[in-house]
Amino acid sequence: MTVTQTPPQNQAMPTWATLDEVKHHLRYDDCNMIDDYLLEVYLQTAQQAIRNYITCPLSQIANDPTMKTATLMLCGFYDNNRVPTNDTAVHGDYVLNNYLPAPVQTLLIPYRKPTAI
């Protein structure tokens, strides 16, 4: 079961990285509008995936540099793995089961409490 945190209506969702930071991290020199759009989608998707994965309150990590690093690493993963394959997935499926690459998970472990069933 995936738990998604929903902030109160008056609280803005934290943004841990900018499009320019993603371009710099991925070493995109000259982006056209299509690249910008795709990278913005990766950025938004990465930030939402991280929000879905962590369990601590967003207010505690709004300016945490670890979140920026995890966001940029996840954008790089999305950019390098545009088509899922068995080599990039866990059991052939990283879309389901809240999968994040191991380096990103390692960064986020302190911000996630395990779910006991």
CA angle 48, 41, 31 (to 5 degrees): 140
**Interatomic CA distance for residues 106 and 55, integer angstroms:** 15
Distances (CA, A) of 60 to 37, 96, 116: 30, 27, 23
Domains of the chain, residue spans: 19-111
CA 8 to chain centre: 21
Low-confidence ranges of the chain (pLDDT < 70): 1-13, 31, 84-98
Measure the CA dihedral 28/34/37/41, to 10°: -80
| pLDDT single digits (tens) 35-61 | 889 999 999 999 999 999 999 998 888
pLDDT of residue 89: 53
Q: How many CB atoms lie within 10 A of CB 102?
A: 9
The pTM of this model reads 0.76
pLDDT of residue 91: 47
